[in-house]
Structure 1
Amino acid sequence: MALIDLGRGGSRGAGAGAGGAPAKPRLVMLVADPCRESTAAMEWALSHAIVEGDDILLLHVNMPHPHNGAAGGHVPSRSSSGGSAGFPIAAFLGGGGAGAGAGADGGGDFMEAMRGACKARYPRARVHGERVEPATEGREAKAQTILAESQRRRVELLVIGHRRVSSFLGLRSSSGSSRGHDSTAEFLIEHSKCLCVSVQKKGQNAGYLLNTKTHKNFWLLA
Structure 2
Amino acid sequence: MACGSTPARKVMVVADPCRESAAALQYALSHVVLENDTLILLHVENPNSAWRIPFGTIFRKAQSLPASAGAASMSSSSSSSSEGFGGGGGGGTIDFLEAMKQACGIAQPRLKVRVQRAEMDGKDKASVLLAQSKSHGVDVIVIGQRTTLSNAILGPKRSRSLRGLDTAEYLIENSKCTCVGVQRKANGGYLLNSKTHKNFWLLA
Cα distance in structure 1, aligned partners of 2:107 and 2:99? 13
Q: Could you tell me which residue of structure 2 aligns to residue 4 of structure 1? A: none
Distance change in 2, residues 1:90/1:57 (3 Å) = farther
Q: Could you tell me which residue of structure 1 aligns to residue 25 of structure 2? A: 42
TM normalised by structure 1 equals 0.72
- The alignment status of 1:96 with 2:77, answered yes or no, reads yes
Say which of 198, 204, 207 aligns to 2:189: 207
Shift of 1:94: 3.6
Q: Could you tell me which residue of structure 2 aligns to residue 149 of structure 1? A: 132
Q: Which runs of 5+ in 1 are unaligned?
A: 1-7, 16-22, 67-74, 168-172
Q: What is the correspondence of 1:172-187 to structure 2 with a 5 Å cutoff?
A: 179=162, 183-187=166-170
Q: What is the correspondence of 1:57-72 to structure 2 with a 5 Å cutoff?
A: 57-65=40-48
Q: Could you tell me which residue of structure 2 aligns to residue 113 of structure 1? A: 99
The superposition leaves residues 29-58 of structure 1 with CA deviations (integer Å, 9 ceiling, x where unpaired) of 000000000001111111111111110100
The superposition leaves residues 136-170 of structure 1 with CA deviations (integer Å, 9 ceiling, x where unpaired) of 43xxx100000000011110010000012344xxx
Say which of 57, 81, 87 aligns to 2:58: 87
Q: Could you tell me which residue of structure 1 aligns to residue 87 of structure 2? A: none
Aligned residue identity for 1:40: A
Shift of 1:179: 4.8
Q: Could you tell me which residue of structure 2 aligns to residue 18 of structure 1? A: none
Q: Could you tell me which residue of structure 2 aligns to residue 76 of structure 1? A: 51
Distance change in 2, residues 1:180/1:26 (3 Å) = same
User: Whose relative contact order is higher, 1 or 2, with alpha carbons under 8 Å and at least 6 apart?
Assistant: 2
Cα distance in structure 2, aligned partners of 1:162 and 1:64? 21
Q: What is the correspondence of 1:16-35 to structure 2 with a 5 Å cutoff?
A: 25-35=8-18
Q: Could you tell me which residue of structure 2 aligns to residue 129 of structure 1? A: 115
Shift of 1:119: 1.0
Distance change in 2, residues 1:213/1:177 (3 Å) = closer
Q: Could you tell me which residue of structure 2 aligns to residue 164 of structure 1? A: 147
Shift of 1:59: 0.2
Shift of 1:65: 2.7
Q: Could you tell me which residue of structure 2 aligns to residue 190 of structure 1? A: 173
* Bigger share in helix: 2
Larger of the two Rg values belongs to structure: 1
TM normalised by structure 2 equals 0.77
Distance change in 2, residues 1:27/1:135 (3 Å) = farther
Aligned residue identity for 2:14: V
Number of aligned pairs?
184
Aligned residue identity for 1:88: F
